[in-house]
Amino acid sequence: MTTQRADTRSGAGLASELRMSVMRLRRRLVAERDPGNRLSARALSVLWVLRREGESTVGQLADHERVRPPSMTRTVAALVEDGLVCRRTSDDDRRQVLVSISEQGLAMLAADRRRRDAWLARRLAELTPDERAVLREAAPLIERLADAD
């Protein structure tokens, strides 16, 4: 057994190997995005959060993306300008601004998702059924890691 292979069995080794694998897959998925999509990774992430979670405040989005509110305010302003999100004043607290994804934002995400999913589905089809089963079981664990504080 090589030292490198033994290292991946330790917690630190697994962390390093998983980090590199996830980063490489992320880069590849970014490269496969729809050619008409000029959005930053953060802007895309904000759209996905709004699609999944629904209406949110800029502060909630900033917390989710782990950025400062002024940075998120700029991201949201650009998305509003592009027609991908809408802002409105909260009915409960007139000082609070709520952000939601627009129909145009939903359509853009759907086109982007179709393209990336098609690429990934082709790659998954190259794996054995057992390998796909391992990934199916690993997916919720990776999601849990991504959501951890």
pLDDT of residue 148: 86
Tally of structural domains, the chain: 1
Domain contains 71 = yes
Domain contains 12 = no
pLDDT of residue 136: 97
pLDDT of residue 8: 54
Domain contains 61 = yes
Domain contains 21 = no
Residues 6+ apart with CB under 8 A from 97: 57, 58, 87, 88, 89, 90
Domain contains 80 = yes
- Helical H segments across 82-148, by residue range: 103-125, 129-147
Q: Are 42 and 67 in contact (CB under 8 A)?
A: yes
Domain contains 27 = no
Domain contains 126 = yes
Domain contains 97 = yes
pLDDT of residue 24: 96
Gap between the terminal Cα atoms of the chain: 35
- For 113, the token pair is 């998702």
pLDDT of residue 75: 97
- For 143, the token pair is 């999601």
Q: Which domain holds residue 45?
A: 32-147
Distance CA 17, CA 9 (A): 10
CATH code of the domain covering residue 69 = 1.10.10.10
- Global pTM reads 0.73
pLDDT of residue 149: 78
Over the chain (149 residues), the average pLDDT of each successive run of 10 is 54 91 92 83 94 96 94 97 96 92 96 93 98 97 89
Backbone φ and ψ for 93, nearest 5 degrees, come out as -140, 100
